[in-house]
Amino acid sequence: MVGLAAALPLVAACDRVFGFDHVPLVDTDAPGTSSIAKGWGPPQQVMPDTPAGAWPSDPSFDLDETYLFYSVIYTNNDYDIFEAKMLDHTKTGPRANVLVSPSYAASPELAPSGTTMYWHDYTMYPMGRIQIATAPTVAGPWTAGGAPADLNIVVDDNRPGSPDAAGDYMVIARNSALLGLHHDTGTWIPDASCDTINGQLAIHENPQVSADGLTLVFAGAPTPGQRDLYVSQRTSIDESWPLADVLDASSGSFDEGDPWLSKDTKRLYFTHNKAIWLCERP
């Protein structure tokens, strides 16, 4: 058996090969109150079925993690959204097209129901808009349903997040800020729930809200440049999001984005260096 002292350099060397460097960590003592910011294990690469010459991005799942939804980016910067059934936490079966270019479909976010998907339409690049697709079951087939006006109040770089299980609250990214939206009246109405976080950082991207509406993960940066993964937790859906903590799944030296947190908060998927990665915690 290899001793711990001998094994640690090997782990560090493997992390450097894949572009990770877990020492030192970045700002893990940020002024938030999250109980899940620390304790994440080393990254494992997730290997979805991807066309030759393309790379995966933007992971999202149904709540049971039975299906992975992900963007595929081609060398000509076209995008497709694919769906694949998970074989385990790091491998999938064959891919199936969900939405196909030239719609420039990317950034899928599956609602907890498993039958509604929010996605980012790049047709008007560099601007973007949020669209909706629906299906009878999580396995599809998926049908594009248009761009709701109340999610696209301005023509801007809107990126979707996933709503809570009740369908009453979600967070989207607009420009470099996060925007909370309530749906109590049947229309998505902006609120002030993300104001504290928006004052903490300069860049905010790729939000995901947990099904209970109490945990928010996103990619962010204090200044334009390298993004890390952040988490904010609240005790009630009526509260604003408190200051966010850096997740220690972040490398501290490289750009990460597109976080997706499992419903038990034990698995964190994200993108880095043209690949999808998974970190787990006890």
Cα–Cα distance between 149 and 200 in angstroms, integer?
A: 29
Q: How many domains does the chain have?
A: 1
Q: Cα separations (Å) of 232 from 114, 191, 214, 218, 267?
A: 24, 17, 8, 9, 16
Per-residue pLDDT of the chain (282 residues; tens, 9 = 90+): 333 333 333 233 333 333 433 322 333 344 566 888 999 999 999 999 999 999 999 999 999 999 999 999 999 888 999 999 999 999 999 999 898 766 688 999 999 999 999 999 888 766 788 999 999 999 999 998 888 888 887 666 678 988 899 889 999 998 889 999 998 778 899 999 999 999 999 999 999 999 999 999 999 998 887 889 999 999 998 899 999 999 988 766 668 999 999 999 999 999 998 999 999 999
Q: List the alpha helices (DSSP H) in the chain.
A: 4-17, 195-200
Q: Judge whether 5 lies within some domain.
A: no
CATH number at residue 39: 2.120.10.30
Question: Residue length, the chain?
Answer: 282
Q: Judge whether 3 lies within some domain.
A: no
Q: For the residues of 143-167, what is the DSSP string, one character each?
A: EE----GGG-SSSBB-B--PPPTTS
Cα–Cα distance between 266 and 98 in angstroms, integer?
A: 27
Q: How many helices (H) and strands (E) does the chain have?
A: 2, 19
Domain residues for the domain of 131 are 24-280
Q: Judge whether 198 lies within some domain.
A: yes
Q: Judge whether 15 lies within some domain.
A: no
The count of other CB atoms within 10 Å of the CB of residue 166 is: 13
- Of 261, 246, 271, the closest CA to residue 25 belongs to 246
CB 229 within 8 A of CB 247: yes
Provide the whole-model pTM.
0.86
SS3 content of the chain, % helix, strand, coil (to 5): 10, 40, 50
Q: Judge whether 91 lies within some domain.
A: yes
Q: Judge whether 273 lies within some domain.
A: yes
Q: Judge whether 16 lies within some domain.
A: no
